[in-house]
Structure 1
Amino acid sequence: MDDHNRSQWLAQIRAWAQELGFSHIGVSGVDLSSAEPQLLQWLAQGFHGDLHYMERHGLMRARPAELVPGTVSVITARMPYLPRGTAPGWPARERARLLNPDEGVVSLYARGRDYHKVVRQRLRRLCDRIETLAGPFGYRVFSDSAPVLEKELASRSGQGWRGKHSLVLSRDAGSMFFLGEIFVDFPLTPTEPVSAHCGTCAACIDVCPTGAIVAPGVVDARRCISYLTIENHGPIPEDLRPLMGNHIYGCDDCQTICPWNKYAEAADIPDFDERSPLVGQQLVDLFAWDEETFLKRTEGGPIRRINHERWLRNIAVALGNALRAADAPQAWKIRAALRRRADHDSALVREHVAWALAQGGAETIMDANPGRGDSDAG
């Protein structure tokens, strides 16, 4: 196949991809050897935390042809996930949520359907169409679902550059998109990478509540709120709990502060529209969900990645943080909600509830009896 035909193929693949909800398609080669030293250094420093699978997979992440024998090219895709109809000024509105300590904040990407399924299903549909061009071919699709250096492949293929928050960043689309890959066994001409445009801006580094961005482009997962609330199965380190504010699943702070995200694209498909039980909800109400309610209201969404136990753990931390700033009536509500979980079957939940209750200091008479105020005197 000559270069002209390859170019025509890519144009057709991009047109089909757009119909399926993808905003951009690129192509990368399979030689990622230059990324191996940085990967090994990141692992050696322990920045992956308890993500032990990253150690087990080792350099396979940087070797697509070993992961899927016969791979010659990698088609990369990005899919926007801001809900349809998102209005300009959304970053400021999202940051305003952080100023209301009684509201539970769920990361934007987690408010709709589970992206793993959405992206992979649509990549498979794209492969069905590619087969009409190429004939039967070997392929595998991925989206945050295997030992794949997704951000490296995306940046090499021109999806964007690696921002200082380590995410792929585009001048046209910001960073609010999912990545996906198709490993294929036929050659395509790689698309050109783009230059970086962060300049001297360090807003993402400065805003990170827990200081998880330890150098430009380097994240210590052990301090990252997304890791702590999702990937971490055990207790959240006590020194980090006060820094987490009202984040209960994931964190978008480094993205909502990024100037390039004023260009972020909204999704073309309904899968990522917000599900109302997860947006603008009070912590005390979310904490009251029993396991059946949790499973029902997170059905089909990525929050199912954590169980009810870790859901309660995360909210307990946020309630503890809210308690420190609460007035007397609100403090009473928070304490009452926490006490109802104080004898929970899970030691993990009990520990975080006890910590949260301790954040209010000594309980006042008004905390214990919110109906007794000055109006009762005399």
Structure 2
Amino acid sequence: MKKIFLIIWADPKFYQTLIFLSQKFSKNKFEVYIIFRNLTHFKDVIKKVNFGKNVKLLKSPNFLNSKFNLLNYIIFNFFIVIHLILKNPKNVIYFNKKALLNILFAKIFKKKTKFIYHNFDFDLLNSAKNLGERLLIRLEFYCSKKCNYLIFPSRERSKLFRKHSKNILSKYYYFMNCFPKKFIINNSIKFKKFLISNKLQSKKIICHLGSIGPNHFLEEIIESFKFINDKFILVIAGSSINRFGDYLKKKIEINNLKKKIYIIEDVSNNYWFEIVRKSHLGLCFYKQTSLSHKYMAGTSQKFNNYLLFNLPMIVNNSNDFIKFKKNEDIFEIVNPKMPKDIAKKIQYLLNDSNRYEEIKKNLSKAFNSELNFDKQFENSYKRFI
């Protein structure tokens, strides 16, 4: 049986593309090994994940407290090399830069192995805050040249990486973070109970899923609900960053919006999907604070969650979304800095049934033709593995 390594310095359960790739390779008769960072001391929101059959999870030893990340990272790299030697995989996929740096050691022992770098997020030198960050970025560029193939979440990001890394040796592909066509969702009734207990069954639900943090215009979204009538409620669901959820709850209380806006933190996968299924509209806003946030059209996880459930959405007016809309008319665009404009756009889309149904039709067509995992796999990994 052919062997393949999927390596990440993180918890693989939080990376849906990695999960779907593992399932796909397993289905294609690969013996899959996922090597990952030991994070057992962190809160585990996602309990169970199906990585597929013939998949072995190899958790790096963690002998030291989390404060000593450098030593644990060194152990992680030795752990990878040992398994590379013992198991001799034909293909190795590194996810993100801290896994990729291992190639400096792996190449010494594995000359004939095919190395792939699958990047979800990278930075450019001009965004580095200190010497350490600049060194990591330069190392990432250097190590990428030792890979046979490079994969990015969008064509635009792959072009930028090629330009700044000056890597003309590797072959480039892009792979948007889409769901498979036959994705199976487990039933949940937790959100139904939440709606019943709060007497919200008759309300139209607008949802914002994902990180609850300062880079998603959540303050402006909350402010917009001062201009929206009582037929609508907002559900903000996800993991709070640095207690940002608590800050938003205070803002909601101050603005007397407790009956219109609800924050649900640390939701499980099934609960998350139930919220999207019962929602009428999704919000997908990104402040242009990083390279990844500038290129989220088609690759954002919340974007693809809405797409999976055929849920019309409103996105921010970034150049990337504007350009994307020319080919795929599957959302409305708004200036997220203007709460009144957000309110108007929400009410327009949910009150105009013709436009709403047009977007739903376009969403279904886009998902079944191009914006699904199966098509993304066919355009990339299927060509070289």
Query: Do both share a fold (TM > 0.5)?
Result: no
Structure number with the bigger relative contact order (C-alpha 8 A, sep ≥ 6) is 1
Q: Which has the larger radius of gyration?
A: 1
Which structure: greater strand fraction?
Answer: 2
